[in-house]
Amino acid sequence: MELSNEAEAMTRSLRTWVQRQQGRYLLRRGLNMQQKNLDTSIRLLTAALNSHQNPTEVLIRRGLAYFQQDTLEQARLDFDQAIALSPDDARAYGHRGLLRYQRSDVDGALADWDHALRLKPHDATTRYHRGLVLAQQEQYADALVDFDIALEQNPLLAEAYLHRGKVQQLLGNLPAAIQDWELALCNDLRLDEAYELLAETREQTNTLSLQEQFSDLLPDNFSLSAEPQDKLLILTLHRPVGAPVNYFKLPNTLRDRLVELQLPVVRRFRLIAKAGDSSLSEWDHTYNIYDKAPCPPAHWRDAVATTLLLFPPFGVVALVLAAQVKPAYRRGDYPIAARTSQAVRKLCLSSSAIMGMMLFGLASYGVYTYVEGEYPNPAAKTALTESTDPADESLSSDESL
């Protein structure tokens, strides 16, 4: 009798083990089929629900499959049942919140996400979703907190960088926005929106910084806007009615500043001037920027006498660059000529500095060896004598005894 009971217990245990293994197998197959055939995936997950030891896991997975299939009511029922079975599982609340948001139930979505984050405060996906909704509701500070935590937990979440950049832009922090959009593209090159926002913001930033370059050249209450168009820079001047301006002197002043700036592409500028609120132009002329600019110095003498003799590795490069200054100027490429001239000058200064450091090192070593030879340090010898091992002293005293 006892043997039969043991046999029945072993049979039940084996049957339970087989069912669990079958449930695990069906769950794995169902998950593998989600990318291929959602109907087959749902069928396998439904079969796994009857034998898997963790039905909450199966319900969440099947709910996601229904969600991908746009069978939203069935997905909601699965998430509700998962929550009823495991009220402390944050995933079901997070997925149901996304489902509610898709069905335009924003308050319900936020309630589910709040509950999910109370259970699992650092869940990156839930933080990201709630941050999107908070940003749409113009709660930018709270949205920024959610995006920060989401990216701290998952630094590869490219779209979180994209939307955090948008929030930073709305808060007026353009450098942070640009950095976020660059990080978004580093993680996902397919984010075209990040490309567009990055290009647009950089253009605005560059235009604003370019306009600031001319502010000190204008009288009070004058304003100047700058708009680059390929090789042409359009400068639009607005002056108060009754305020005088010399239109024969001002272009030369603007040209001198543009020569200093050495914009990489721009070769001409167009000055358009308007008075007050008038839409009519009282001045409209186009000027070449570098026509009157003298050729930058090639620094031949410094390259030969200083760089080549003092430090030949820099001297050869300096001579090659010095030979390119005048040809660049003659073909009308003044910025290249100016940058080449500056490079030669920097090489000359660098070679002088390197040679000076080498001479100083040699002189210091010579002085040190001379002093050591002529004036040996008695304190060092005394210290060496006094630092004898106490064990040696005791040994010598024992030998004397």
Break the chain into its structural domains and give their ranges.
14-207, 213-288, 294-401
No. of helices (H) and no. of strands (E), the chain: 18, 4
Residue 314 in tokens: 């820099």
Residue pair 233/266 in contact (Cβ under 8 Å)? The answer is yes
Amino acid code (one letter) for 219: P
pLDDT at residue 376 in the model = 58
25, burial (CB in 10 Å: exposed 0-12, middle 13-18, buried 19+): middle
Q: In what order do the strands lie in the sheet with 283-288?
A: 223-229, 232-239, 268-275, 283-288
Residue whose entry in the numeric block shows the structure tokens 């100083």: 360
Fold of 14-207: 1.25.40
Rounded Cα–Cα distance for residues 106 and 374 (Å) = 89
Q: 88: part of which helix (H) or strand (E)?
A: none
Residue pair 353/365 in contact (Cβ under 8 Å)? The answer is no
Task: Please state the φ and ψ torsions of residue 173, each to the nearest 5 degrees.
Answer: -100, 80
133: nearest Cα among 157, 162, 163: 163
CA 13-17-21 angle, to 5 degrees, is 170
pLDDT at residue 373 in the model = 66
Task: Please state the φ and ψ torsions of residue 269, each to the nearest 5 degrees.
Answer: -135, 150
Domains 14-207 and 213-288 share a fold: no
Ranges under pLDDT 70 in the chain: 1-37, 51-53, 202-209, 264, 305-311, 313, 315, 332, 355, 370-401
Q: 228: part of which helix (H) or strand (E)?
A: strand 223-229
Amino acid code (one letter) for 150: A
Rounded Cα–Cα distance for residues 282 and 243 (Å) = 13
Q: Which CATH class is domain 213-288?
A: alpha beta
Q: 282: part of which helix (H) or strand (E)?
A: none
Rounded Cα–Cα distance for residues 113 and 117 (Å) = 6
Amino acid code (one letter) for 122: H
Residue whose entry in the numeric block shows the structure tokens 């920024």: 144
Rounded Cα–Cα distance for residues 369 and 7 (Å) = 96
Distances (CA, A) of 82 to 20, 39, 103, 111, 168: 19, 21, 20, 17, 37
Rounded Cα–Cα distance for residues 293 and 199 (Å) = 32
Mutual orientation of helices 55-68 and 2-33 as an angle, nearest 10°?
Answer: 20
SS3 394: helix
Distances (CA, A) of 193 to 130, 161, 162, 174: 21, 12, 8, 16
Residue pair 344/306 in contact (Cβ under 8 Å)? The answer is no
Helices (H), 120-239: 124-136, 140-153, 158-170, 174-187, 192-212
206: nearest Cα among 180, 174, 163: 174
SS3 171: coil
Residue pair 65/41 in contact (Cβ under 8 Å)? The answer is yes
Residue 236 in tokens: 């639009």
Rounded Cα–Cα distance for residues 209 and 232 (Å) = 17
Residue 90 in tokens: 């944050």
DSSP structure class, residue 172:
T
pLDDT at residue 21 in the model = 62
